Chains A and B, each alone.
Chain A
Amino acid sequence: MLTDITIGQYVHGDSVVHVLDPRIKIIITIILITSLFLIGNFWGFAIFLSFNLVVIKISNLPFKKVLKGLKPIVFLVLLTVILHIFMTRGGEVLFQWKFIRIESEGLYTGTFMASRILLLIMFTSLLTLTTSPLQLTDGIEYILKPLKKIGVPASEISMMMTIALRFIPTLMEEAEKIMKAQKARGADFESGNLIQRAKNLIPLLVPLFISAFRRADELALAMESRCYQGGKKRTRLHIMNINRRDITALILAIALAVVVSFF
């Protein structure tokens, strides 16, 4: 039940997309997302979508999984569409019933915004689906490196992210175990009204927090006893190299961004 959550979960693979340098992938994602906001009409979206589909194809991702990742935002998208359809005014009147009026401008902007959000989530999820969390944080650390000069603790930030990602499944497992233990003592997590349910979560949350703190404490001690220190002079196991493939991908992405921005 709890362990079913799969948003942005890494799918192991060895496609061209998987082996691209994570830094390049992050930069490409940023560039293309920016371009997504510069697109002015549906032709741009169509090109972007076909590019998106091609990337999914060559990275051998199960299409179902990508779609599943869109599930959590369905509500947001629908809300956007509905609000635009009923609120935005302009163009010709398409439908009128008492005070409810739909105008063409609203319909257009609604679908336009929805496509933008959907493409945005779809494309960013490609990054997390094809890049392992470890690579991702490594990449982020590199990109944040220049900010160290102005006092941003880049390596600490990336270490925190790595640890957080690492412990999500562990905490999920723990939560499920505690839930079962309390159920065995007659706890009820499934019925009652909202307030009652929130109250019923206390027997789950208190032990969960305690164990998370204990784990954090133990981990900190274990790291310290191995003389861990972030930042300077740390070498790494996997050294990232940028090669021709990465450069090609980057150029392609920039070209695409320029092209779609003209639409």
Chain B
Amino acid sequence: MLIELKNVTHIYDQEQKIKALDDINLEIGEHEFIGIVGHTGSGKTTLVQMFNSLIKPTSGDIYVDGIKTTGKKPDLNHVRQTVGLVFQYPEHQLFEETIYDDVAFGPRNLNLDQEEVDKRVKVALDLVGLEYEDFKDRSPFNLSGGQQRRVAIAGVLAMRPRVLILDEPSAGLDPQGREKLKGLLKRLHQSYNITIILISHRMEEITQLSSRVIVMDHGKIVLNGSPKEVFSHKDKLEKLSLELPEITEILYRLKERGCDIRTDIFTVEEAVDEIINVVGSQNYVN
């Protein structure tokens, strides 16, 4: 197991005893792609910050790559190298004079030699689709918002994490930027074998990318399973005021109107096939 949480509880406000996380048990393995959903304040961000030990839980144990991060003097450098975290609006953390230096900040903190740092910065910028030669000497503050975000993500990728956590990475991006980001995540997961944990409010993103979906509410994990499993609990999700992916919603509506149709479909292509299939077989013309 890459990350393991055992009975983790986190109390946010000691006086009022507000629980940000309530008795969480969770295991995350190699090569998973996990989507986390839940409305604002459900504990998603707190949970992922536990993964690389930025927050210590009030009680419970956390293991990252075999290291007990809740124990005495854990090797935090190793933990943070293993688990990379891209915060919300990561472009707000840029600070160096050149893009090269900013991306190199992480690797340099790992005390790598110049050659290795060079290599990592090149690869990271290449991954996020920024031409190394064109961008390395430019100031990160003269870029567009979308480009800034890519530089920030490159800064985390340069740490070569085995787990990459992204907290609402598509917030504020235009449709094109979101597509590019999706492509990047897919590539990282498939070609580089990185475990990815994605927090998002866009169900389409979650269902198209993840192999496992975790639904959080009031600091608890309420649903945990494959997208098909999780999105079959329509009523439960509605109670938490979470939406279904639009495509799935359409299929549910068709079913309500008496159409015998599958509802565990999340892509337009599959939905088209299924609708034609059903309509064709029943001669449904209306």
Residue in B90, B105, B110 whose CB lies within 8 Å of A203: B105
CB contact under 8 A between A186 and B77, given known A177-B87, A207-B93:
yes
Instruction: State the CA gap A187–B155 with chains docked (Å).
Output: 12
Interface hits, B71-114 → A, CB 8 Å: 77, 80-81, 84-85, 87, 90, 92-95, 105-106, 109-110
Contact A202 B95 (CB under 8 A): yes
The answer to whether B109 touches A178 (Cβ under 8 A) is no
Are A184 and B80 touching (Cβ within 8 A)?
Answer: yes
Asked if A233 CB lies within 8 Å of chain B CBs, one says: no
Number of residues from B at the complex interface, CB < 8 A: 22
Query: Given the complex of chains A and B, what is the CA–CA distance between A184 and B53 in angstroms?
Result: 9
Is the C-beta of B159 less than 8 angstroms from some C-beta in chain A? yes
- Chain B residues with Cβ below 8 Å from A182 are 93, 105
From B49, B81, B95, A206 is in contact (CB under 8 Å) with: B95
Q: Are B54 and A178 in contact (CB under 8 A)?
A: no
Q: List the A side residues contacting B106 at CB < 8 Å.
A: 185-186
B52: Cβ under 8 A from any A Cβ = yes
B85 neighbours in A (Cβ, 8 Å): 181, 184
Please determine whether A186 and B109 come into contact, CB atoms closer than 8 angstroms. Answer: yes
Cβ of A206: which chain B residues have Cβ within 8 Å of it?
Answer: 95
Min distance, Cβ B162 to any Cβ of chain A, angstroms: 14
- Is B121 located at the chain interface by the 8 A CB criterion? no
A173 at the interface (CB under 8 A from B): no
Closest chain A residue to B87, Cβ basis? A181
Whether the Cβ atoms of A183 and B93 lie closer than 8 Å is no
Chain A's interface: helix, strand, loop or mixed, by majority?
Answer: helix
Residues of the B chain whose Cβ atoms lie less than 8 Å from the Cβ of A174:
92
Contact A207 B110 (CB under 8 A): no
* Size category, A interface: 10 to 19
A180 at the interface (CB under 8 A from B): yes
Q: Which residue of B lies closest to A185 (CB)?
A: B106
Query: Contact partner of B94 among A183, A186, A187, A207, CB < 8 A?
Result: A207
Interface string of B37-61 (1 = CB under 8 A from A): 0000000000001001010000000
For A218, list chain B residues within 8 Å (CB): none
Interface flags for A10-33 (1: CB within 8 Å of B; 0: not) read 000000000000000000000000
Which of the listed residues A177, A182, A186, A206 has the most CB atoms from chain B within 10 Å of its own CB?
A: A186
User: How distant is B34 from chain A, measured CB to nearest CB, in Å?
Assistant: 18
Give bound CA distance, A235 to B165, whole Å.
50
Query: Known interface pairs A185-B106, A186-B80. Does A180 touch B141 (Cβ–Cβ under 8 Å)?
Result: no
User: Any chain A CB within 8 A of the CB of B213?
Assistant: no
Q: Is B156 an interface residue (CB 8 A)?
A: yes
Q: Which of B49, B87, B109 contacts A187 (CB 8 A)?
A: B109
Set A180, A185, A186, A202: member contacting B49, Cβ < 8 A: A180
With A and B bound together, what is the CA distance between A182 and B80 in angstroms?
11
A156 interface residue, CB < 8 Å from B?
no
Given the contacts A187-B109, A210-B141, A181 and B80 also touching, CB distance less than 8 Å: no
- C-alpha spacing A259/B77, complex, angstroms: 64
For the complex, is A41 an interface residue (Cβ under 8 Å from B)?
no
Apart from A184-B156, A185-B159, A186-B109: 10 A-B pairs, beta carbons within 8 A: A177-B92, A182-B93, A185-B106, A187-B109, A203-B95, A203-B105, A207-B92, A207-B94, A207-B95, A210-B141
Cβ-closest 3 pairs across A and B: A186-B109, A206-B95, A185-B106
* A→B interface (CB under 8 Å): 174, 177-178, 180-188, 202-203, 206-207, 210-211
